[in-house]
Structure 1
Amino acid sequence: MENKHNLKWVVVPFHSLSVEALYQILRLRSKVFVVEQKCNFLDADNKDQQCMHVLGYAGSELVAYSRIVPAGLSYPYPSIGRIVVSANGRGKGWGAALLQTSIAELEKRYGLTTIRIGAQAHLHEFYGLFGFEQTSGIYLEDAIEHIEMTRQPALPHAGA
Structure 2
Amino acid sequence: MNLRIEVKKFNELNLVELYSILQLRSEVFVVEQNCVYQDIDGKDDKALHIIGFKNDKIVAYTRCFQPGFYFNEAAIGRVVVKDSERKFGYGHDIMKASDKAILDFYKTSNIKLSAQQYLIKFYKTHGYQTTGDGYLEDGIPHIAMVKD
Q: TM-score, normalised by structure 1?
A: 0.90
Measure the CA separation in 1 of the matches of 2:110 and 2:12: 27
SS in 1 for 2:38: coil
The answer as to 2:30 corresponding to 1:16 is no
Point out the structure with the larger strand share. 2
Measure the CA separation in 1 of the matches of 2:112 and 2:23: 25
The answer as to 2:25 corresponding to 1:45 is no
- Tell me by how many angstroms 1:74 deviates: 1.2
1:36-78 deviations in Å (ceiling 9; x for gaps): 0000000011111011101101012110000111122211111
The 5-angstrom pairing of residues 28-39 of structure 1 reads: 28-39=24-35
The 5-angstrom pairing of residues 118-137 of structure 1 reads: 118-137=114-133
SS in 1 for 2:132: coil
Task: Look up the match of 1:101.
Answer: 97
Point out the structure with the larger helix share. 2
The answer as to 2:112 corresponding to 1:116 is yes
| Alignment RMSD | 0.9
Moved over 6 A (4+): none
Q: TM-score, normalised by structure 2?
A: 0.97
5+ residue gaps in structure 1?
153-160
5+ residue gaps in structure 2?
none
